[in-house]
Chain A
Amino acid sequence: MRPIRAKLTQLMIFGVLLSMLAGCSYLNPKPLKPWDRDVLARPEMQLDADSMEDLMDTKIYFSKEASRGGANIGGGGCGCN
């Protein structure tokens, strides 16, 4: 059972990585001029806009669930899991 699952996992990861690459090649929109980046430059549009909430959520869910990672790396360890 285990080897099959491991194989399936590898296949799935390979498939998603491939579609990521394909997606990135497809996603090639027209370049924006600097003066068209006003909305993207707003604080609430940044990837770290909810940094203090994300910081707390990462720890809460790391200590209450068995998954980790995804958005970023770094930060201190915790004996809560």
Chain B
Amino acid sequence: MQLKQTGRLGPALAAATCTLLSGQGAQAAETEQVDVTSLQYREVDRVNVDEEVIALKRKGKDEKRFSLKLYHDTITGASPNGAYFPSDTYTSPSGSSYSSTLAPITDERYAVSADWEREDSRRQKTQYGLAYSIELDYDSLGANWSRSRDSQNRMRTYSYGYGFNYDVIHAEGGNPVGLAPATDTTRSNQDNKLLFDFLGGVSQVLNRQGVFQLNYGLSLSNGYLSDPYKFISIDNDAVVDNLLYEKRPDTRLGHSLYARVIYNIDDNVLKGSYRYYIDDWGILSHTLDMRYRYKLNNDFYLQPHFRHYSQRAADFYSIVFYDAPAASTYEYASADYRLGNLDSLTLGLQAGTRIGKRTDLSLRYEILRQTDRLGEFPSLNASILQLSFRYTAK
């Protein structure tokens, strides 16, 4: 694991940590917590991501909470750019034969987010959040607000909240025009994207052993929603003779339903969730996530993880487009496999231990496999390694 690339964040992190832990805040602190996590995400022959996050949390005696998160990540490797050429190097079960073109990718991202939570009354809490992130070709500014309220007997909690993001896309060399030929040099320096989220839900205590949660989420995006680095291939009588920049609609409305249960079984904990997602691009997906925290003794646990995701493709997705009657008749088109008929399977194991009374350590290793149900693009294999450290001061 590595925590070497904190770079410019180093002094800022040190200052923030000192301020938070020095006890000089307005309120006498009841608990303070520092989380440090480091992630290595590795795709076979494709993208590598290294990410480090530091989270500082403070809870005052008056139940006011403050948390600050600092993120840094680097991306290197290569990613499919959507251009496909007939090839005999890969033949799909459906008989199509294409090989994807991998384009080199490097990026670095810094992000910071801060959240405040206050207790309005004995049964009601309100939370505010701000987030900002910068990349070489993407900036994002976000704000969110949410409120939760317990029922009279505290068996049920209702919550609802809003999130808003203003993102700026400024691809290297400028953002291309959708469906323009790859040779076209028309560019805009920057484009914007607005994102609005609503989430409303209820969590219910089932009995002494478990809790159940249900959420409904709505997300509305507007603006430049295409990927400036992706192409589509136009196949003319089995010969790809033209590459165009992809084009996605400039609005997107999505709905999600999310159900989760957390249940204690003989001091072990079963955590299961299901999400149904649908949007007006034609994407429809099911996500099942299961974790089982198996307690070995008071200081050590193991937690297997299973996740399955299944997605129906967007209406305007195709691995290759056909030049009939003419490429210009397409309103929207993308060959980004992430909008395709996708299945993802994740299997993992996490081990965690407590050292002394204040320190927790955990390590997880997972494997991720993404496959195309139609077998048109090759499977993606990746591994996830995450080391987390938590220090709690009371």
Interface residues of A (CB under 8 A from B): 2, 5-6, 9, 12-13, 16-17, 20, 23-24, 27-29, 31-32, 36-37, 39-40, 42, 44-45, 47, 49-53, 55-57, 59-61, 64-81
Q: Which residues does chain B contribute within 8 Å of A40, judged by CB atoms? A: 205, 208-209, 211
B258 x A29 contact (CB < 8 A): no
A9–B212 Cα distance when bound, in Å, is 25
Would you list 6 pairs from A and B whose C-beta atoms are within 8 A, ordered by A residue? A29-B206, A49-B262, A55-B69, A60-B41, A65-B342, A66-B285
A57–B20 Cα distance when bound, in Å, is 27
A69 x B269 contact (CB < 8 A): no
When A76-B133, A77-B142 are in contact, do A29 and B155 touch as well, CB less than 8 Å?
yes
B318 part of interface (Cβ distance < 8 Å): no
B311 partner, pick from A23, A56, A67, beta carbons under 8 A = A67
B256 part of interface (Cβ distance < 8 Å): yes
A69–B197 Cα distance when bound, in Å, is 9
A36–B210 Cα distance when bound, in Å, is 12
B135 x A79 contact (CB < 8 A): yes
A47 x B262 contact (CB < 8 A): yes
B125 part of interface (Cβ distance < 8 Å): no
B153 partner, pick from A5, A31, A49, A76, beta carbons under 8 A = A31
Number of A-B contacts (CB under 8 A): 202
B39 x A20 contact (CB < 8 A): no
- Sample of 6 more A-B contacts, CB < 8 Å, known A20-B216, A67-B283: A20-B202, A66-B281, A67-B309, A69-B217, A70-B287, A76-B142
Interface residues of B (CB under 8 A from A): 35, 37, 39, 41, 51, 53, 55, 69, 71, 75, 107, 109, 111-113, 115, 129, 131-133, 135, 137-138, 140-142, 144, 146, 153-156, 161-163, 165, 167, 169, 195, 197-199, 202-209, 211-217, 219, 227, 254-258, 260, 262, 264, 269, 271, 273, 275-278, 280-283, 285, 287, 291, 293, 301, 307, 309, 311, 314-315, 338-339, 342, 344, 350, 364, 368, 370, 380, 384, 386, 388, 390
A52 x B338 contact (CB < 8 A): no
A64 to chain B, nearest CB (A): 6
Main secondary structure, interface of A, reads loop
